[in-house]
Amino acid sequence: MQSPSSPSHQWRVPPALPVVKLVGAVALVALGLLLSDGDPVQVALTVAVAAGLLGWALRDLLAPVRLAADPAGVTVVQGYAGRRHLPWQVVEAITVDRRTRLGLSTETLEIDAGESLHLFGRYDLGAPPDEVAETLRAVRAAH
């Protein structure tokens, strides 16, 4: 992340995250094959879940930058790996939603653009959502 006075800011998936997902997929397949005892249903389920993890890791590699801000507005990831630029004029609110469930706290950055709502967690941004929200508000106020 850059300082609020710089012309553009980017928040991205931490580099270790796709690696962890890829290693998890390989470990899951190995464990599934080891414990399947020749059952094709267990093997198929294991491969399906591992394929999901691989797809998730591939998204992290194809679109690591989830959010960017500059004087013209914000660019958000849309769909699997696409991008969408939102001018500051269409951004209605930048908020952080905090929830506690089962003793665990989560924070989600919400960018409300009227017809669309864009949500980002800590692992999407590589930074605490409240810090990102402060920076976005500062960039928006400066321009």
pLDDT in tens, 98-128: 999 999 999 999 999 999 999 999 999 999 9
Band (pLDDT 50/70/90 cuts) for residue 3 is very low
User: Residue 6: is its pLDDT beyond 70?
Assistant: no
Mean pLDDT taken over the chain: 91
- Taken as a whole, the chain contains a residue count of 143
Instruction: Please report the pLDDT score of residue 1 as a whole number.
Output: 47
Query: Does residue 56 contact residue 80 with C-beta atoms inside 8 Å?
Result: no
pTM for the full predicted model: 0.81
Instruction: Please report the pLDDT score of residue 8 as a whole number.
Output: 87
Phi, psi of 72 (to 5 degrees): -85, -20
Least confident of 3-12, 22-31, 46-55, 57-66: 3-12
Look up residue 30 and give its two tokens: 């190995």
Instruction: Please report the pLDDT score of residue 7 as a whole number.
Output: 53
User: Residue 36: is its pLDDT beyond 60?
Assistant: yes
The string over 113-138, giving b where at least 16 C-beta atoms fall within 10 Å of a residue's C-beta and e elsewhere, is beeeebebebebbbbebeebbebbee
